[in-house]
Amino acid sequence: MSKAKAQQPAVIHKVIMVGSGGVGKSALTLQFMYDEFVEDYEPTKADSYRKKVVLDGEEVQIDILDTAGQEDYAAIRDNYFRSGEGFLCVFSITEQESFQATAEFREQILRVKNVNSDKSDDSIPFLLVGNKADLEDKRQVPVEEAQQRSQQWKVPYVETSAKTRANVDKVFYDLMREIRSRKMEASKQNNGKIRKKEKSKRKCTIL
Amino acid sequence: MLSGTERSSSKVLTSCEWIHQRLRRIWHSHDIISGAIHTMLKQIVYTKIGLYEKKKNRRSPHNHKLKENLSSVIRHGVDGVEDQDSCCINKRDQVLMITADILSNYPAMCSDGSGCCQPECTSNLPKSMPAEEVMPVIQSNIDYMEEDKPLIPGVTVRAATADKLVHICIESFSKEGDLIEDTEYPNVMYLMHKWFISSEDLAETFIDLYQNCHETIECTKDVCDHLPSDGECEIQIYKAKICYAVRYWISHFPVHFDLDNRLKTVVKRLGSLLLSEGNTSFKELIDLSKVPSYDWMRNMSVRSSAMRHNRKVSLVFNHLEPLELAEHLTYLEYKAFRRINFTDFKNYAITASLKDNAKLERSIALFNGLSQWIQCMVLSKTTPQQRADVIVKFVNVAKKLRILQNFNTLMSVVGGLTHSALARLSKTNACIPSETQKTLMEFTELLSSSNNFSNYRKVFNQCIHFKIPILGVHLKDLILLHTAVPDKIEGKLINFRKMAQLSQTLRELTKLQNQDSIPVCANMDLVNTLRLSLDLHYTEDEIYELSLAREPRNSLSSPSTPTKPVVFADWLAGVSPPDPNTINKHVYDMVEAVFKNYDHDRDGFISHAEFEAIAGNFPFIDSFSVLDADQDGKISKAEMKTYFFRANCHALRNSFKHDFHETTYFKPTFCIHCTGLLWGLIKQGWKCKDCGINAHKHCKDLVVMECRSKQHAGCNRRVDSVSNGPGHQDLTYSTKRKMSQRQKKTRVHQGTQTEEIYFSDYGQMNGEGEFYDEHNTLYTRLLKTEEASDKLKEENEKLRKKLIAKDEKIKLLKSQMGSIRNNTLTYILEQMDSLKSQRHTEV
């Protein structure tokens, strides 16, 4: 069995953490990747954002791209978004501005994704995440407001706390499930279209 | 029990986080720790300790790790339940007690290495302690923890108090003043100290240790007066080492001293202390007078005088060689990069915000500005082939940047070229040679974020000599490291391993900031021109709109961009544009540079042809006649400065945004988008106030034509918005002239829209009353009716007169309108002709 698996490497789901600076994207990522606090964390290691997990009995790999530290580099954000398959859009419930920023992030993601896929613009795997839920007394973004936005976007809304670890696994697993179902849909559609695509590709090369 | 656990836990033994995990799980899953769990916890912990102790004979003990984990649980518990209900406080107390139990019964954990290790001792535990006694136990006398696998040679401290850290630093020096075994410790210590202590306090600590060393250091000599001249006295040796340590600081990190006057004062105090003891030889060691000046770090825009080789280059984009462009971009990049100091990095790592972080913000603004400039330069070209040519040019620039090992600018260029605003241009991409596409792919691969930027990291580490890192990647490392690892452990000990880890990144960055040899000699004129080009600030939305305008989406897909929410300032643009003063300065520098190079006859003016050449650098620059505000056929310095300052506020915001208004046409008019007739009698279509194009209501959002004619007609509006631009008086004449023309136009608008007819009262026509002869009463009624009828007739007459008057007025207005319309039409035609001729000259 292990041999079979070695031949067929686990599917990789690419998750991108977006949100303004200081909302706890990195803390969420680290909590999920390492469960508990790490002593010898090496931020430069190549595999430090990749992890094997079991998703509903199936072994998959999750690849997390944390945009921390690069929120202000507008120029590269666009490229990052293109490589992502699913998005955790994080804000801090203690900071209204970070919540407002999610709208802009969402818009940019939709724009970038629209361009790349010719598939009709049905939803991208996307979760709205309100972090720092442990700081209830400093809350600035009411649950209702966040839920309203998530309904408007037709995406799930989850409140997390990187500190107490509440819902940390949930958001990542929920997102991976969405990515997986999206991929399955896409592969179904593609099976029918492959021939068409090949044809058009050939034409291109001739031109 | 023990053997069972031993078997099952042999896996987890490798990591001592295990206890920590278990404790935290329990902490989060139970509201109150019951007696049973309490016991269980103790068993877990003690068994664990026993196992560690058994391993101890083979390997170094992990006691401090264990203890650190436990205390971290406690801290976490205490932090988490503050201000909460009593049940949680109970819980906190319980965890504290458990830990206190463990600690008090297990001395091995408090003092490194020694103590009993028999698991049996767990069987006779004393009763738990009250919570308030716990903290002293935890904060036992440890002021130092040893590192079991040093990251950096010589850095053997895991965590310690600040005093202890300074002491270790002092002891890193031999009594001759050399570093013992070439330890890196002082380097790391000095580099990183600002993370946990101010430079001033660090220096104070040196003084404290100096003053107190009579008590802390024992002199081994039998008889000793501890005189400075005594080379054998331990106290004097220690004092000498302090001086060596401070000397090392001054000589290796002079910038700390130059920028910090309070630190200087403290060090001078140490100097006078030395003098008062007669230690003249040491006093010289800590002489501050040789500290070089770091003016360029303090001031954002002071120019380094070393870079004044004036090499002849073209300032015109079309004539600019890729190498020249790459070199000058590198020059700008390096200047922005080297100004960012330790505190800037630290603040960004901790707050992840650019607030009060002007130097880092400037660097990021440059990065974003370049990428946007590239996008705009490409999008400013009208045909796919032209756009492709610009892309090819920038790919060549990227190649040169790679050779220069300037990865930050490379990232910016490649980021701009692969941005979705350009990537979506399929017609343009079809014109790019496959070779160029391949190169671009290679660069994308090199800079890809996959595997945590492993490609970039590998290549970057291999590069020697001058190089500029991708700042964003390293900032991310700092942030993650800061998030992952606490600053302090045990509540008071400075986590020095973290400092060592952080120093690996920061040392690399600071080293790269102080590279001596920039392989670039810059032409300041070109630098100034480029700098201003990169200042132009657009938002992502604007650029994307531009892209859509150049090559619209397939008509099949929905034409509208995703629903646009309220604009939250310019957040997404990341960095706010530079402040007006900076821009003013950049404009000034650039204009001076342009005149220096292009005003060949030195008359202080630029001619039409010269202007066309310069305009190539600025996407969407207006035509010559707009810059030439006083219409004398030449552009003066003042005119150019005014224009650029204004252009910066304005950017391309309006280039594609038409100012459509519902309009009634009196002649058959056609839609500019679908070329169909604008149907109907009134309000047939929409007209752009600025450029005068007409469109259907449903077509007006699809119009792809730039709003260009406003260069002429709409110019005055922008002039109005400039209040403080230098030399705006020059503009008043032309402004007035244009204003009058514009007012004519708007009058036409008003005429068409206020055209209403006052017929409302006219409908109330009176009918003649019938005459009956029967009764007086009836007769009187008749009379009354006649009277009423007369009155009505009179009124009718009045109204009729009014109506005629109004009709006449309307006729008058119509004739006026006709003449105005004629004027406007001829004006528009003239404008179009001049535009056409301009285009011809441009082509």
Q: Using pLDDT thresholds of 50, 70 and 90, give the confidence band for residue B287.
A: confident
Taking CB atoms and an 8 Å limit, are B368 and A47 in contact across chains? no
**pLDDT (0 to 100) of residue A88:** 94
Asked if residue B643 lies in contact with residue B611, where contact means CB atoms within 8 angstroms, the answer is no
CA–CA gap between residue B746 and residue B751 (Å, rounded) = 9
For the stretch B234-251, pLDDT in tens is 778 888 888 888 888 888
Taking CB atoms and an 8 Å limit, are A74 and B449 in contact across chains? no
| CA atoms B23, B29, B34, B36: torsion sign | negative
**pLDDT (0 to 100) of residue B99:** 57
Assess whether pLDDT exceeds 80 at residue B797.
yes
**pLDDT (0 to 100) of residue A98:** 92
**pLDDT (0 to 100) of residue B395:** 92
Taking CB atoms and an 8 Å limit, are A75 and B371 in contact across chains? yes
Alpha helices in chain A (DSSP H): 2-7, 25-34, 74-83, 96-116, 143-153, 168-206
Residues B377 and B525 in one domain: yes
Domain termination site, one of B238, B263, B298: B298
Residues B429 and B520 in one domain: yes
Taking CB atoms and an 8 Å limit, are B565 and A104 in contact across chains? yes
**Interstrand relation of A86-92 and A126-131 (parallel, antiparallel or unpaired):** parallel
CB of B569 within 8 Å of any CB in chain A?
A: no
**pLDDT (0 to 100) of residue B227:** 66
Q: Any idea what the CATH number is for the domain that residue B696 is in?
A: 3.30.60.20
Q: Quote the minimal CA–CA distance from B477 to chain A in Å.
A: 5
Taking CB atoms and an 8 Å limit, are B477 and A44 in contact across chains? yes
ipTM confidence? 0.85
CB of A11 within 8 Å of any CB in chain B?
A: no
Which residues 161-180 of chain A have a CB within 8 Å of chain B?
A: 163-165
Residues of B whose CB is below 8 A from A107: 562, 564-565, 572
Q: Which CATH number is A12-202's, of 3.40.50.510, 3.40.50.300, 1.10.3720.10, 3.20.20.80?
A: 3.40.50.300
Alpha helices in B405-539 (DSSP H): 407-417, 420-423, 426-430, 434-446, 450-462, 471-484, 496-513, 524-535
Residue at B160 is within a domain: yes
Task: Give the range of the structural domain holding residue B693, as residue numbers without chain letter.
Answer: 657-708
Residues B285 and B413 in one domain: no
**pLDDT (0 to 100) of residue B716:** 38
Residues B286 and B416 in one domain: no
Which is higher by pLDDT, B156 or B215?
A: B156
Q: Any idea what the CATH number is for the domain that residue B151 is in?
A: 1.20.870.10
Residue at B387 is within a domain: yes
Residue at B747 is within a domain: no
**pLDDT (0 to 100) of residue B710:** 44
Instruction: Say which range, A183-197, B93-107, B298-312, has the weakest mean pLDDT.
Output: B298-312
Give the mean model confidence (pLDDT) for residues B589-597: 74
Query: Quick one: how many helices (H) and strands (E) in chain B?
Result: 35, 9
For the stretch B741-792, pLDDT in tens is 444 444 444 444 333 333 333 333 444 444 444 566 777 778 888 888 889 9
**Angle, CA of B149, B155 and B159, to the nearest 5°:** 80
Number of domains composing chain B: 4
Residues B636 and B545 in one domain: no
Residue at B497 is within a domain: no
Assess whether pLDDT exceeds 50 at residue B534.
yes
Asked if residue B185 lies in contact with residue B155, where contact means CB atoms within 8 angstroms, the answer is yes
CB of B441 within 8 Å of any CB in chain A?
A: no
Q: Quote the minimal CA–CA distance from A106 to chain B in Å.
A: 10
Q: Using pLDDT thresholds of 50, 70 and 90, give the confidence band for residue B264.
A: confident
For the stretch A87-141, pLDDT in tens is 999 999 999 999 999 998 998 888 888 744 444 456 789 999 999 999 999 999 9
Residues B443 and B417 in one domain: yes
pTM, 2 dp: 0.64
Instruction: Say which range, B266-270, B401-405, B596-600, has the weakest mean pLDDT.
Output: B596-600
Which of B417, B791, B635 has its CA nearest to residue A79? B417
Residue at B441 is within a domain: yes
Residues B147 and B288 in one domain: yes
Residue at B329 is within a domain: yes
Residues B631 and B703 in one domain: no
Tell me B470's DSSP state.
-
Assess whether pLDDT exceeds 60 at residue B367.
yes
Domain termination site, one of B675, B708, B741: B708
Residue at B191 is within a domain: yes
Which residues 38-97 of chain A have a CB within 8 Å of chain B?
A: 38-39, 41-50, 63, 65-66, 68-76, 78-80, 82-83, 97
Assess whether pLDDT exceeds 90 at residue A144.
yes
Residues of B whose CB is below 8 A from A29: 480
Residue at B277 is within a domain: yes
Assess whether pLDDT exceeds 70 at residue B523.
yes
CB of B65 within 8 Å of any CB in chain A?
A: yes
Assess whether pLDDT exceeds 70 at residue B82.
no
For the stretch B417-471, pLDDT in tens is 988 888 888 888 888 898 999 998 899 889 888 888 889 999 998 988 888 999 9
Asked if residue B98 lies in contact with residue B38, where contact means CB atoms within 8 angstroms, the answer is yes
Residues B220 and B240 in one domain: yes
Across chain B, mean pLDDT equals 69
* Coarse DSSP helix, strand, coil percentages of chain B, rounded to the nearest 5 percent: 60, 5, 35
For the stretch B102-153, pLDDT in tens is 555 444 433 333 333 333 333 333 333 333 444 443 444 566 777 777 778 7
Which tokens go with B53? Answer: 């102790």
Which of B476, B394, B455, B384 has its CA nearest to residue B424? B384
For the stretch B389-418, pLDDT in tens is 889 999 999 999 999 899 999 999 999 998
Buried b (16+ CB within 10 A) or exposed e, B41-62: bbebbbbbbbbbbeeeeeeebb
Residues B245 and B167 in one domain: yes
Residues B534 and B398 in one domain: yes
**pLDDT (0 to 100) of residue A91:** 94
Residues B403 and B450 in one domain: yes
Q: Using pLDDT thresholds of 50, 70 and 90, give the confidence band for residue B296.
A: low
Across chain A, mean pLDDT equals 81
Tell the residue number behind the tokens 């920023």, with chain if given: A101
Q: Which amino acid is at A33?
A: M
**pLDDT (0 to 100) of residue B587:** 76
Between A and B, how many CB-CB pairs are < 8 A? 180
**pLDDT (0 to 100) of residue B582:** 72
Buried b (16+ CB within 10 A) or exposed e, B681-709: eeebbbbbbbbbbbbbeebbebbeebbbb
For the stretch A22-44, pLDDT in tens is 898 988 988 888 865 556 778 88
Q: Quote the minimal CA–CA distance from A158 to chain B in Å.
A: 19
Considering CB atoms only, which of A27, A66, A108 is closest to B540?
A108
